[in-house]
């Protein structure tokens, strides 16, 4: 008898299994493919490995002369980039496997089928368990007309390419689309983005999209916003795409088409047969329980916030509740990070979603930051949103170098309802990019010193 059987070894599943193992529970983790799930094998990790290569290439291409570095005959080796990516993915996967073994989690490489709330079949083996954690993840959406045309890429397919395309059209200007546009454009490959909403990165504020869009256009990316691909035909050279734009209908040719319009929860028929409540994804309470009390669900399969770090913490919450520690998931301070160039990170409320009469908002420009000048960076800002009466921090957005790391100050502030004055009185090191956040906080409290 297992204390828990976890189905799916992605970020939510393996974290739940490890946390249970650390607490002495008998756990089986069933995974039909590779440990680490989408994030480790076809998402977060390989994308960032490739972007690390192109970021360095861009830095040398664009800044070397200003910084006194002779970078003549600069070129890249895509095969070596992929070698770096594969090495990082393998190391990450092996690290997870080591932790599973360390904490006595039984890893079963098989497809799982839930036969009842207390029995899970893994291949030819029937596992009896007190609890089940469903962490089967998601898969890329492929909508019409793209699902009818052979050869169209999803984000999973990009990492299988043996050579770079001569040109690429990306359908969807969200996080995934913008990150891939950043990668390909850095290597001088013609990129077109088609975004249905009024601006790219539609979940972020307009000022964020404007800076990222300006950077992409500077690298040759064509961006069509409030637009959609209405027809797609294969040609000898790739694809002919008909795009309906604000100005009218146009045609574009591209060797490859990448569709990045989101992901769908991976809900299997055995789960549906159990009578588990489904609303877009598997519905749970804040303890990660489904309507069947001993069956939990975490991560993308819930169809809510599809981020690896959210899945991980949902796995922790599920494990704690299985162990008898009543714990609730708190989504009030979930950071969003985008590895574009410049980077984008946000947490809490956005300017577009608040009542201006109830908040104070201040943006401090990257161009006024001393450390930014030393690394030849100008485009970006730190924006802080605080409650007008209490001065508590409600949201933060950062655009610029290392934004994805610096946002943690905002996460702590929003999560713990910190006051802007408390943060302003916290000495920030100089010269650092974090002083950009201090400048925005000073603007909330009184006036920024360096502006």
DSSP code per residue over 64-117: TTTTT---TT----HHHHHHHHHHHHHHHHHHHHHHHHHTTEEEEES-EEEEET
Superfamily of domain 336-445: FAD/NAD-linked reductase, C-terminal dimerisation domain (3.30.390.30)
Q: Contact at 8 Å (CB) between 314 and 299?
A: yes
CATH fold for the domain made of 146-261: FAD/NAD(P)-binding domain (3.50.50)
CA distances from 122 to 113, 129, 172, 276, 442 (A): 7, 12, 37, 20, 57
Indicate which residue of 309, 350, 430, 450 is catalytic. 430
- Cα–Cα distance measured from residue 411 to residue 335, given in angstroms and rounded to the nearest whole number: 7
The length of the chain is 451
Q: Considering only the top CATH level, what class is 4-140+264-322?
A: alpha beta
Q: Maximum Cα–Cα distance for the chain, whole Å? A: 68
Q: Contact at 8 Å (CB) between 381 and 400?
A: yes
Angle between helices 78-102 and 11-22 (to 10 degrees): 30
Is it true that 4-140+264-322 and 146-261 share their CATH fold?
A: yes
**Known catalytic residue: 84?**
no
- Domain map of the chain by residue range? 4-140+264-322, 146-261, 336-445
Give the residues across from 259 on adjacent strands. 171
Looking from the CA of 106 toward its CB, the CA atoms found within 13 Å total 13
Task: Give me the tens of pLDDT residue by residue for the chain, a chain 451 residues long.
Answer: 999 999 999 999 999 999 999 999 999 999 999 999 999 998 999 999 999 999 999 999 999 999 999 988 899 999 999 999 999 999 999 999 999 999 999 999 999 999 999 999 999 999 999 999 999 999 999 988 898 899 999 998 998 899 999 999 999 999 999 999 999 999 999 999 999 999 999 999 999 999 999 999 999 999 999 999 999 999 999 999 999 999 999 999 999 999 999 999 999 999 999 999 999 999 999 999 999 999 999 999 999 999 999 999 999 999 999 999 999 999 999 999 999 999 999 999 999 999 999 999 999 999 999 999 999 999 999 999 999 999 999 999 999 999 999 999 999 999 999 999 999 999 999 999 999 999 999 999 999 999 9
Cis bond before residue 342 (omega within 30° of 0): yes
Task: Give burial (CB, 10 Å; 0-12/13-18/19+) of 358.
Answer: exposed
Token pair listed for 414:
């929003």
Q: What angle do CA 150, 152, 153 make, to 5 degrees?
A: 140
The dihedrals phi and psi of 217, each to the nearest 5 degrees, come to: -65, -35
H helix or E strand, kind and range, residue 254: strand 249-254
């Amino acid at each position: 008898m297992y204390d828990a059987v976890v189905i799916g070894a992605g970020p939510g599943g393996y974290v739940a299994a490890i946390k249970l193992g650390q607490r002495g529970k008998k756990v089986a983790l069933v995974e039909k493919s590779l440990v680490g799930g989408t994030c480790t094998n076809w998402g977060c990790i390989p994308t960032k490995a490739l972007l690390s290569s192109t970021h360095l290439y861009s830095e040398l291409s664009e800044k070397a002369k200003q910084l006194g570095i002779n970078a003549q005959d600069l070129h890249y080796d895509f095969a070596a980039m992929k070698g770096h990516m594969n090495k990082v993915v393998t190391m990450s996967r092996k690290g997870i496997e080591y932790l599973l073994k360390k904490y006595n989690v039984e890893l079963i490489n098989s497809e799982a089928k839930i036969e009842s709330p207390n029995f899970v079949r893994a291949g030819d083996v029937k596992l009896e368990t007190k609890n089940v954690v469903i962490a089967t993840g998601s898969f890329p959406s492929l909508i019409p007309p793209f699902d009818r045309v052979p050869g169209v890429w999803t984000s999973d397919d990009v990492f299988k390419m043996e050579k770079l395309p001569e040109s690429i059209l990306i359908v969807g200007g969200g996080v995934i689309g913008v990150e891939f546009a950043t990668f390909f454009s850095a290597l001088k490959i013609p990129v077109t983005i088609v975004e249905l909403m009024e601006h790219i990165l539609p979940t972020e504020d307009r000022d964020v999209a404007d800076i990222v869009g300006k950077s992409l256009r500077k690298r040759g990316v064509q961006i069509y916003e409030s637009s959609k691909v209405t027809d797609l035909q294969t040609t000898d050279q790739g694809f002919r795409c008909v795009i309906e734009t604000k100005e009218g209908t146009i045609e574009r040719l591209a060797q490859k088409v990448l569709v990045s319009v989101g992901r769908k929860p991976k809900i299997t028929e055995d789960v549906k047969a159990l009578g588990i409540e489904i609303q877009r994804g598997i519905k749970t309470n804040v303890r990660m329980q489904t309507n069947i009390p001993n069956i939990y669900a975490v991560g993308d399969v819930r169809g809510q916030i599809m981020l690896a770090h959210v899945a991980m913490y949902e796995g922790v919450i599920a494990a704690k509740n299985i162990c008898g520690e009543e714990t609730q998931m708190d989504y009030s301070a979930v950071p969003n990070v985008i590895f574009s160039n410049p980077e984008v990170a946000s947490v809490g409320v956005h300017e577009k979603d608040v009542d201006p009469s109830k908040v104070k908002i201040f943006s401090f420009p990257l161009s006024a930051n001393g450390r930014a000048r030393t690394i030849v960076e100008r485009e970006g800002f730190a924006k802080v949103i605080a409650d007008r009466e209490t001065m508590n921090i409600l949201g933060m957005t950062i655009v610029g170098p290392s934004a994805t790391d610096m946002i943690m100050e905002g996460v702590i502030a929003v999560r713990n309802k910190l006051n802007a004055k408390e943060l302003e009185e916290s000495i920030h090191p100089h010269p650092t990019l974090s002083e950009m956040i201090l400048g925005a906080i000073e603007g909330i409290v009184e006036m920024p010193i360096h502006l």
